Amino acid sequence: MDSIRNKYRLKDLGKLFSGLSGKSGDDFNQEDNPNNRGFIPFTNIANNTYLKKDHLGTVVINPGEKQNKVRKGDLFFLMSSEGYGDIGKTAVLADDIDEAYLNSFCKGYRVNQNKCNPYFLNYLLSSVCYREILKVEGKGFTRINLKIEKVNNFEVIIPSIESQNIITNYIDEKTQAIDKKVTLLEQKIETYKKLKNTIIAKAVTQGISNQELSINDLGFKTPANWTKYRLKDLGKLFSGLSGKSGDDFNQEDNPNNRGFIPFTNIANNTYLKKDHLGTVIINPGEKQNKVRKGDLFFLMSSEGYGDIGKTAVLADDIDEAYLNSFCKGYRVNQNKCNPYFLNYLLLSNIYRQRLIVEGKGFTRINLKMEKVTDFEIFLPPTLSEQQDIANYIDHKTTTIDGIVSNIGKQIDTLKLLRKTLINDVVTGKIKVVK
């Protein structure tokens, strides 16, 4: 295989095009609309290397409507994201699709296939070294955005088409074996997560003492002596940080640094601890809402329905810490309700589904404060019973969490192997022969 590589800007190898425009939430994922066409969501680009037919949603495209269609071999760039982890991420369409369109957070990139193999280019842009170079071009605070000219002028070094084809086939073969192992481990994790969810759901709706159950007015079974409350009867919502810019966060050695709870740590945890904090500058005399042990936090705005309304509870005493602006804090009246029990209750599938449907939006899903404050739940009559249930769930789920964590480490090792393989092959560190 040849060792000659040439430098190009991406605008020399293809052309960017826009995703959908002029659409509202009502245009997506309608059932049985004769004008439904394929639609590639943001999340499917974030989560995949190759995009296939079964990765599509639907969007209504009316007769005569002018939108950019995608086609096999097109790459897609994530141009806007909540964090640096996804910004600039690419995926490539690997199937022939009669008619499909791209979400508005992304740009399509049509490769001149006489100059470059799109599947090789996707692997190249997914490699560690190129991802790091492109990520630093993202700018923003509440959202990270990537400008079109940064993509167009992005430089890549590529070998001949023949070499690209050989490298792509080699990476496909090696990564498919790794991906198969990862998929099996992920299936194990899902099995354990379902078990955990079942334990939580049963405990927070039926208790743990074999009480007689009856159908409540929300439509599911609870003990007869449990009482219905709205969340505003049990505590009070408060706001996260306001008036901050990106420069205020995670500075090193600033004497005004204080603890800060990011969106992602609420999305990814049940209990929040001291080691989950970032830092934010709080100037002397600045008025912001501090968090404290036992506070719950609601995700009020998200890119999808999976996270909206998700809660976590602060389990540690922290001298001074603050909450991100995408969330609301909820201070529980602990004379009425145990916050750790309440957090488990709100994480249970039966209550999660009731809250998720209150989220509304298209480019972002948002949850209104009144939907949270008026949210109805059933509670055991005594604080001691609530604490017993929370302790029971802690005990039952700790073992499951340990198993899931160990499987997760195996997955991380395989994914690191995959990344290293791709990086070393596309950059020429590992030589591939025919």
DSSP assignment of 370-393: HHHHT-EEEE-SSHHHHHHHHHHH
Distance linking the first and last C-alpha atoms of the chain: 7
CB neighbourhood size of 198 (10 A)? 12
pLDDT at 210: 87
Tell how strand 257-261 and strand 321-323 pair up. Answer: parallel
DSSP one-letter code for 335: T
pLDDT at 32: 87
The CB-side HSE value for 287 (13 A sphere, CA atoms) comes to: 0
Per-residue tokens: 344: 């488990």
Question: Can you point out the beta strands (E) in 160-209?
Answer: none
| 3-state SS assignment for residue 161 | helix
Identify any residues that bridge with 40 across adjacent strands, giving them in sequence order: 102
CB neighbourhood size of 25 (10 A)? 11
Report in angstroms the alpha-carbon separations of 327 from 99, 142, 267, 369: 38, 12, 10, 10
Stretch(es) of the chain classified as CATH 3.90.220.20: 6-159, 227-373
What is the Cα Rg of the chain in Å?
A: 25
pLDDT at 29: 85
pLDDT at 298: 97
How many distinct helices (H) and strands (E) make up the chain? 11, 26
What topology does CATH give the domain 161-225+380-433? Helix Hairpins (1.10.287)
CB 376 within 8 A of CB 219: no
Torsion-angle region of residue 184: left (phi > 0), alpha (psi -120 to 50) or beta?
alpha
Per-residue tokens: 85: 């982890």
What is d(CA 296, CA 266) in angstroms, rounded to the nearest whole number? Answer: 9
Q: Which CATH architecture has domain 6-159?
A: Alpha-Beta Complex (3.90)
In the chain (434 residues long), the average pLDDT of successive 10-residue segments reads 81 96 88 92 91 90 94 95 88 94 94 96 95 92 88 95 95 96 97 96 95 94 96 97 88 90 92 89 94 96 88 94 93 97 97 95 87 97 97 96 96 96 92 81
Per-residue tokens: 98: 């009669």
For residue 283, how far is the Cα from the chain centroid? 31
Yes or no: domain 227-373 corresponds to CATH 3.30.420.40 = no
Per-residue tokens: 368: 């209104």
Stretch(es) of the chain classified as CATH 1.10.287.1120: 161-225+380-433
Q: Widest CA span of the chain, in angstroms?
A: 77
Q: Got the DSSP string for 55-99?
A: G-EEEE--TT---PPP-TT-EEEE-EESSTTTTT-EEEE-S--SS
pLDDT at 321: 94
Report in angstroms the alpha-carbon separations of 4 from 112, 315, 324: 20, 57, 49
What is d(CA 300, CA 152) in angstroms, rounded to the nearest whole number? Answer: 35
